[in-house]
Amino acid sequence: MSVDDIERVAVLGAGNMGHGITEVVAIAGYDVVMRDIEQEIVDEGYEDIQWSLEKLSEKGIVDEDPDDVMARIDTEVDLETAVEDVDLVIEAAPEQMELKKEIYGDLTEFTPEDAILASNTSSLSITEIATATDKPEKVVGMHFFNPPVKMDLVEVIYGEETTDETAETTYDFVESIDKTPIYVRKDVNGFVVNSVLGPFGDEAGWMVSADEATIREADATMVHERGYPMGPFELGDLTGIDIGYHVRKEAGKPVPPIVEEKVEADELGQKTGKGYYDYEDGDGADYGHEDVSEDFDWLRIEGRMVNEAAKLIGNDVATPDAIDTGMRLGAGFPEGPCRRADKIGLEQVLDKLETLHEQTEADRYEPADYLVELVNNGHTGEDAGQGFYEYGGDDGDREYRTLNVLEDDEVLAIELDRPERMNALNEDLMDEIEHVLNNADPEAVRVVTFEGAGDRAFCAGADIGGFAGAKPWERGTITSMFETVNDFPKPTIAKIDGFCLGGGHELALACDLRIATTDSEFGFPEINLGLLPGGGGTQRTMRMIGEARAKELVFRGERISAERAEDWGLINRAVGADEFEDVCAEFVDDIVEGPPVALDYAKKVMNRGEDASLEAALTMESQSFGLLLSTEDVLEGTSAFAEDRDPEFEGK
């Protein structure tokens, strides 16, 4: 079976996960039946989907009429009726092994022979679930994250008997419903995300239990110094302290005393009103910048996460890219642990683990064989040219992780590829943009285009977490990328569809031309963070649209529409989504077919003349005009004009 054979899907469960998965599948265009054991539960789930679709439609996230999506959803209580004619079953029953086995036993009898049976379990063994069927090769894990409508990640998990065909079809199906899948190629406890995330809260718990840090110090340092979306204790309160406790107990792992204390006191987090923080009589997770501690040993936490990642890679469970993608999309990390470790230096990570293991003899610090192997082979990270990833030098090939780059027909197309962060700029992305442009062949490229992946943003600004830990005096280096774009010798075009804010707006302004859909929005929200645009935004905007409007944009921090941006002169065109690609293509074609030498001179004169006196600028223009008169392109252009044909410029 391939994904093209999947037409009808059954989702077993109408609770939060079940109705969320049903909604996602229906939005993608599939016919889906949602089943639960009681009609009341099914009806509540159906109503929740309807409410959600209306909200998504109001926000413009779903274009289709909610009633049309709902028309693809059937409901059922009888299991046999629900699954008798489906191609894929997604089971989202409670996390009880015996219950799941009972369901899968019935599925063996009730489903078509070729139907794929997927479990949304977050922790139970796919292999064991499959023992309840007579077709274990068709059983696979399909772990959505909560809430499925918002969370982009899905783990596709092999059981021992799962065939490649089953897993690959499931992977393709996940992509077809506009989610991002990662393979988990062995049925390990915790799969990928939960395995790597475990030490985030676990190690912080051990540190606080040993009076080596306070809860606020741990949370503040990991958020404000290391860039994580929330601290380990705040996260524990959000998910439920008892959840992590039971996971560790079931896995036979030691539990930090502070976790034991909270569970015994029934202080389980937000759901009980009190956990590590007080949510009833207190202010909740009220840590701030002032709680950051220079003495907090964050490398203990990150080192253990890196170690778990190394175990998964060494045991062929997942690739570094799958792990990093999983942690970014599933846990909201600013970057994956493998990429971050390569920056830190794997030798430092290994040294931290070995020191802690020697001091404590605790199993949790024992270094993974794969990590040791990398360091012993000199593959210690980015500075060494290879770590978890391979890194090319400035003059060599390089595998880009935040960009998609395509060079074809003299067009260098650069796509910012961080859709899960609305293509926000971080150090990696900015460095990769510079690397692409610095290594581009000026003779082979006539135009460069920039666009954003996904359907929400060109670039929504700077990823604050991506610059966590940078010192104030290092911030000045961030502007170099914008200057590299501005100074690139060939014309550059920003293709803007969606949010174009902050650093993303500055990237667009560094380009020569800007074309946007009418749904796009522009602005500099930095002032609302107590900052100002730091990538040339204040200066380029003033020169482009004048002092009054530039100051309005920067001082007020509000967004403006594409129509207003066009009216003000910030962009060249604001066009409807249906015209967007055609208009962009017209701009690109005009430049590709234009005279390369003249375009080079025109860009240079206009960029440099902007900051020169009028007399100096006119001199540059006159000199360039004179130099162009001697080129073969001018001869071709004048000849073509006289002969009433299109010129064929060769850049000579």
Distance CA 548, CA 564 (A): 15
> Which range, of 324-338, 393-407, 458-472, averages the lowest pLDDT?
458-472
Q: Where are the beta strands (DSSP E) in 512-588?
A: 513-517, 521-523, 560-561, 573-575
Closest of 432, 427, 343, 426 to residue 394, by C-alpha: 432
Which of these is catalytic: 427, 506, 521, 566? 506
Please report the pLDDT score of residue 468 as a whole number. Answer: 53
Say whether 225 is catalytic: no
Q: How many CB atoms lie within 10 A of CB 544?
A: 15
Quick one: which H or E segment has residue 584?
Answer: helix 577-592
Distance CA 398, CA 400 (A): 6
Please report the pLDDT score of residue 473 as a whole number. Answer: 40
Please report the pLDDT score of residue 393 as a whole number. Answer: 59
pLDDT digit string (tens) for 437-467? 998 988 889 999 999 998 889 999 988 655 5
Measure the CA dihedral 229/233/235/239, to 10°: 180
What's the pLDDT band for 516 if we cut at 50, 70, 90?
very high
Please report the pLDDT score of residue 638 as a whole number. Answer: 80
Over range 528-547, report the average pLDDT. Answer: 88
Q: Do domains 3-187 and 193-299 have the same CATH topology?
A: no
In the predicted structure, residue 511 carries a pLDDT above the cut 90: yes
Please report the pLDDT score of residue 120 as a whole number. Answer: 95
Instruction: Provide the token pair at 495.
Output: 């293709």
CA 65 to chain centre: 28
In the predicted structure, residue 389 carries a pLDDT above the cut 50: yes
Instruction: Provide the token pair at 449.
Output: 């285009």
Distance set, CA 570 to CA 521, 550, 576, 603 (Å): 12, 10, 17, 18
In the predicted structure, residue 581 carries a pLDDT above the cut 50: yes
Task: Check: pTM over 0.85? Answer yes or no.
Answer: no
Q: Where in the chain are the domains?
A: 3-187, 193-299, 403-586, 596-643
Over range 572-597, report the average pLDDT. Answer: 93
Please report the pLDDT score of residue 560 as a whole number. Answer: 95
Q: Which residue has better confidence, 26 or 395?
A: 26
Which of these is catalytic: 526, 566, 621, 643? 526
In the predicted structure, residue 604 carries a pLDDT above the cut 50: yes
Please report the pLDDT score of residue 467 as a whole number. Answer: 53
Mean of the per-residue pLDDT values for the chain?
91
What's the pLDDT band for 470 if we cut at 50, 70, 90?
low
What architecture is domain 193-299? Orthogonal Bundle (1.10)
* Fold of the domain built from segment(s) 596-643: Lyase 2-enoyl-coa Hydratase; Chain  A, domain 2 (1.10.12)
Say whether 526 is catalytic: yes
> Which range, of 290-299, 326-335, 562-571, 619-628, averages the lowest pLDDT?
619-628
In the predicted structure, residue 621 carries a pLDDT above the cut 80: no
Angle at 445 between CA 443 and CA 446, to 5 degrees: 105
Please report the pLDDT score of residue 612 as a whole number. Answer: 78
What's the pLDDT band for 153 if we cut at 50, 70, 90?
very high
Distance CA 130, CA 38 (A): 25
Over range 318-327, report the average pLDDT. Answer: 95
Task: Tell me phi and psi for residue 171, to 5 degrees.
Answer: -60, -45
In the predicted structure, residue 288 carries a pLDDT above the cut 50: yes
In the predicted structure, residue 396 carries a pLDDT above the cut 60: no
In the predicted structure, residue 227 carries a pLDDT above the cut 50: yes
CA 13 to chain centre: 28
Over range 494-501, report the average pLDDT. Answer: 96
Over range 417-438, report the average pLDDT. Answer: 90
Residues of the chain with pLDDT > 90, as a percent, come to 74
Please report the pLDDT score of residue 250 as a whole number. Answer: 79
Which of 3.40.50.300, 3.40.50.261, 3.90.226.10, 3.40.605.10 would CATH assign to domain 403-586? 3.90.226.10
Closest of 504, 508, 493, 501 to residue 561, by C-alpha: 501
pLDDT digit string (tens) for 62-103? 889 999 999 999 999 999 999 999 999 999 999 899 999 999
Instruction: Provide the token pair at 76.
Output: 């059922």
Helix pair angle (547-556, 537-545), 10° resolution: 140
Please report the pLDDT score of residue 406 as a whole number. Answer: 92
pLDDT digit string (tens) for 342-382? 999 999 999 999 999 999 999 999 999 999 999 999 999 98
Distance CA 55, CA 204 (A): 38
* Fold of the domain built from segment(s) 3-187: Rossmann fold (3.40.50)
